Structures are given as C-alpha cells and as structure tokens.
Amino acid sequence: MLFRRWVCSKKCSDKAPEPVAKDCHGTGVQRVDAGPDVACADALRVIDGYSIDIPADVRTLLEQGALETIKPESAALASSSAILVAAPAQALEAASLVARSHGITPVILGDRIEGEARVVGSVMAAIAHSASQSGMPAPSPCVIISGGETSVTVRGTGNGGRNVEFLLSALIALEERQSAFAIAADTDGVDGAAKIAGAFIAPESLARARELALDAMIISTGMTPIRSLKNWETRS
C-alpha cells in the first residue's frame, strides 16, 4: 500500500489534473487506499522485526527514504491538482439513487463501518429484521447501504474473506426469519486473499444450505467462509 500511494502521489505532481479513485472512507485525495500510512523507518522496523526477506534495491530505497509518502506541503505538489472521480461515499449515494428509482427507500449508514466482519454482519441482520418487523430505521421495502473496512480474524487454515464472512454471519443471525437479500463486495474486486469480490444471499439461502447438508454455522467452527461457498457451489 505504501508503494501504491507513493506512485499515485508522484503522478499527482504533474501539472495536469490527476483523476483519483479511492477505496477508503472520506472525500480527500491525500489518501486513496485503505492500507496503513507508514513512514519508511516504520516499514523497515516491521520488516526487520519479523525477519522478512526483501530485495536489496527495495531495502536501499527504504533506507534512503526514497519511498516516503509525499506530504501535502511538498514543493512537488505546489502546482498540482487532483480530481476525485470515485470514492466509497459516492458509490453509496449512487446505490441509493438506484434504489429510489425502483421505489425502495435507501438508508445510508456511512462509509466508515469497521470491526470484525462476523459481528458487523449480525448487526446488519438485526437492522434488517427491525426494518421488516417494526419499520425502523425505515419501513419495507428498504435497502440498508454501508461501506467501510471490516476485518477477519483468520482461524484454522483459511484465507479469510471479510465480505463472505459478513454474509454468512448475517445469514445465521436472520435464521428462519430471513426475508432479506444481501450483497457484500469489495470495490477493488478482491475479498481478502480470495479471487472473488464477495457474495450475496437470498431469502432461501439458509434452507438451500441445509438441503445440501451445509450448515451455515461452519463460520464458527474454523472452516473458512471462502471454502464454505466453494462447497456450496460444488454441491449445487
């Protein structure tokens, strides 16, 4: 992430406005991705602390500070400009417009949702159930829209996958009361270390899983969400 931000920042030093697409919260152009913003010295401290083997030329650049993230006050940016062409908040608003065009009330929770994916998934399920049963925060039909950076504590031999874990957790929380559709996907097209952007669930998903002898509770037994969906797909 450090290197990608550095490359983008160097491009932004050109005089022509630089179009910027970001995949983290906010509307500023100083930071365009969700990776940790660290200095070269911090990066070296982590690399050496964990005895990570890196190419000699990369180490040299880090030691020289040549890969340092460019700062807003840098002279290289004095005559530069950037145009934000895409950001999570814009994606949420676009989704809300599509919902309204179909007569569905959108509820935007913001672009800064964080925490364990399985916890966030169960909370979102509770909100959906509340909307269905009591009309809060909006009566059905409605769509609950959010963005952010959830995380997964990987157990066993899995790859994680925050979007899939989010959905499996929501599926479990909804149980037989499920009357909701849900989709979770990453704007950069990759969910954790998996080669998918995410997944979706429908009202019949839990019953379908049980018909295939796939208990959705595998999310809490150490079997990874990505593997769970692969089993689901294979047996369908």
R_g (Cα) of the chain, nearest Å: 21
Q: Do 75 and 102 belong together in one domain?
A: no
- Across 165-191, average pLDDT: 82
Mention every residue, 6+ apart, whose C-beta is less than 8 A from residue 44: 59, 62, 63
Q: Classify burial at 177, counting beta carbons within 10 Å of its beta carbon; exposed 0-12, middle 13-18, buried 19 or more.
A: middle
pLDDT at 117 over 80: yes
Q: Do 164 and 223 belong together in one domain?
A: yes
For the chain, give the mean pLDDT.
Answer: 77
Q: Do 160 and 204 belong together in one domain?
A: yes
Q: Do 122 and 79 belong together in one domain?
A: no
124: pLDDT confidence band, cut at 50, 70 and 90? very high
Among 50, 70, 85, identify where a domain stops.
85
25: pLDDT confidence band, cut at 50, 70 and 90? low
CA gap 162, 197 in Å, rounded: 10
Task: Identify the pLDDT of residue 1.
Answer: 35
Q: Do 67 and 179 belong together in one domain?
A: no
Q: Do 205 and 220 belong together in one domain?
A: yes
Residue 208: domain span: 88-235
Task: Identify the pLDDT of residue 29.
Answer: 61
Task: Identify the pLDDT of residue 78.
Answer: 72
Q: Do 135 and 74 belong together in one domain?
A: no
Q: How far is CA 205 from CA 54, 78, 125, 217, in A?
A: 45, 54, 14, 13
Task: Identify the pLDDT of residue 7.
Answer: 41
Among 52, 85, 118, identify where a domain stops.
85
